[in-house]
Amino acid sequence: MKSGRFTTSVGITPERAAKYAFTMPIAVSSEVILKRADSPISSIKDLEGKVVGTQLGTTTEQEAHKADAALKAAGGKGFKELKLYPSFPEVYVALASGELDAVVQSGPNVATLIKEKPGVFAVGETISQTPRYIAWVTRPADPDLRARISAVIKKLRDSGKLAELQKKWFGFTMEIPDTGYLPPGAL
């Protein structure tokens, strides 16, 4: 690979899609409530007056702010506090230690965490209004890299291997579309 190229998987947002070249998606994600296994929290309403955490600068932060605003719009006071952390491992430690009442995180990441730490964490309701696709992102100057990665993802999806890997790592499969996953104005 040439120096200066990069690729990683991230959630597709209009802002990111206007700046980076996304491949075909590898997963579908919605933000959910993550809680301690013994917590009664389950819905957005249960987050009223609670300390909620997530990672700074992520799509989960955006969804947490939306959930807080929805509570306030419904006549409530919203979260007691929204704590933002540099990385999700720190968020999980804060939740496990009781520093947080709940966390906003993407469904596939929560599924993986619960699988890795059975009996420690549990999932509540989905809080995002629309699903978000996760894809690999490349520089716009590397259309050949983007095309090659998309071709491999499509082959894996069409052969059933992608669904097999999703089932293995997340515990469920996700429908991956050929089109319609990029927002208007995407590169």
16 and 39 within one domain: no
- Tens digits of per-residue pLDDT, 48-98? 999 999 999 988 999 999 999 999 999 999 999 999 999 999 999 999 999
**pTM for the whole thing?**
0.82
H/E element, 10: strand 7-11
Residue 161 burial (CB count, 10 A):
11
Give per-residue pLDDT as tens, 90-147.
999 999 999 999 999 999 999 999 999 999 999 999 998 888 899 999 999 999 999 9
Residue-range definition of the domain harbouring residue 19: 7-28+132-170
Structure tokens at 38: 């013994």
First to last CA, the chain: 22
Q: Does one domain contain both 92 and 108?
A: yes
Do 21 and 36 lie in a common domain?
Answer: no
Residues 37, 118, single domain; the answer is yes
Amino acid at the residue 186:
A
Q: Confirm whether 179 is domain-assigned.
A: no
Instruction: Assess whether 101 and 151 both reside in one domain.
Output: no
Q: Do 94 and 162 have their domain in common?
A: no
Tell me, what CATH number does 117's domain have?
Answer: 3.40.190.10
Closest CA to 138 of 126, 125, 147: 147
The reported pLDDT for the residue numbered 5 is 57
